[in-house]
Amino acid sequence: MTALPPPSKVKLGLVIDLDTCVGCHACVTACKGWNDQGYGAPLSDQDAYGAEPCGTFLNRVHSYELQPEDGPAEVVNFPRSCLHCDNAPCVTVCPTGASYKRAEDGIVLVNEDACIGCGLCAWACPYGAREMDAQAGVMKKCTLCVDRIYNENLPEEDRVPACVRTCPTGARHFGDLGDPASAVSRLVAERGGFELMPEMGTAPVNRYLPPRAKGAAATAPLAPLVEERATGLAGWLDRLLERF
């Protein structure tokens, strides 16, 4: 009798399609709105309508302009939030245990009651995914809308992160990346999805789908990138986008 393989470990995460993200910031607005009334304390803003507004956001979108030698300029929009790493350095450095990774689904969370606002997790995160809430004095981060995805009072179609539910172009996908047969895992396999800055050894769960190249080399540039040493997130992204 053939033994069955062990069940895969659940790794909930996001797959973000850089080819279809238009940089509309709907995901940013939806994230801010949901988390202002959901998990943890509201996300504070300072001088929101003044000359130098600032605030706490769990999801941001950066835009990069590419100028090919033989074609018109293109814009790639790059959403950024917590990647819920398997080897999360934010968890390792936290002196109070406020940052932790859930065994049941792999989501990295912050126990705000235990957070002392020391900022070590922000220093440790190579992706800049942590934000200090100036008003609350604690660290904030993407929770994958953990208070939403398990909420049986919501219609089933709404039990996904707010950013995924809101995206007008369908650029954001949510599911179990620990299951090779899941829709998100198949999407990553089909489109050559990649992890962000793999050389850091954090093993992020989230994946990005590359922009579709204009020509024969659709995903070929990704392989040599892994072997290059990047200097921070911006440097890594610059090298990535130059290859498309």
Residue 220 confidence (pLDDT): 40
Residue 31, burial from CB neighbour count under 10 angstroms (0-12, 13-18, 19+):
buried
Domain 12-242 fold: Alpha-Beta Plaits (3.30.70)
**Average pLDDT, whole number, for the chain?**
86
Residue with tokens 């934000």: 131
Q: Give residue limits of the domains in the chain.
A: 12-242
Nearest-CA neighbor of 31 among 172, 209, 226? Answer: 172
CB atoms within 10 A of CB 29: 15
Residues 53-60 have a mean pLDDT of 92
- pTM listed for this prediction: 0.84
Residues 6+ apart with CB under 8 A from 167: 21, 26, 27
Residue 75 confidence (pLDDT): 87
Nearest-CA neighbor of 110 among 126, 99, 124? Answer: 99
Instruction: Report percent pLDDT > 70 for the chain.
Output: 82
Q: What backbone phi and psi angles, to 5 degrees, belong to 64?
A: -120, 135
Residue 68 confidence (pLDDT): 74
Taken in order 163, 99, 43, 153, the sign of the CA dihedral is positive
Read off the pLDDT band of 57 (50, 70, 90): very high
In tens, the pLDDT along 83-101 reads 999 999 999 999 999 999 9
Residue 241 confidence (pLDDT): 61
Residue 238 confidence (pLDDT): 63
Angstrom distance (rounded) from CA 151 to CA 18: 29
**Tokens standing for residue 112:** 């705000």
In tens, the pLDDT along 147-182 reads 999 999 999 999 999 999 999 999 999 999 999 999
Angstrom distance (rounded) from CA 174 to CA 152: 17
pLDDT at 69 over 90: no
- The beta-carbon contacts of 193-199 under 8 Å, at least 24 apart in sequence, are 193/15, 194/222, 195/83, 196/83, 196/127, 196/233, 196/236, 197/126, 197/127, 197/230, 197/233, 197/236, 198/226, 199/226, 199/228, 199/229, 199/230
Nearest-CA neighbor of 14 among 58, 64, 76? Answer: 58
Residue 221 confidence (pLDDT): 41
Residues 6+ apart with CB under 8 A from 147: 38, 39
Residue 217 confidence (pLDDT): 42
pLDDT at 229 over 50: no
Strands of 33-98, DSSP E: 45-46, 54-55, 60-66, 74-80
Residue 72 confidence (pLDDT): 82
Residue 66 confidence (pLDDT): 79
pLDDT at 42 over 90: no
pLDDT at 65 over 90: no
Residue 117 confidence (pLDDT): 95
pLDDT at 215 over 50: no
Residue 225 confidence (pLDDT): 38
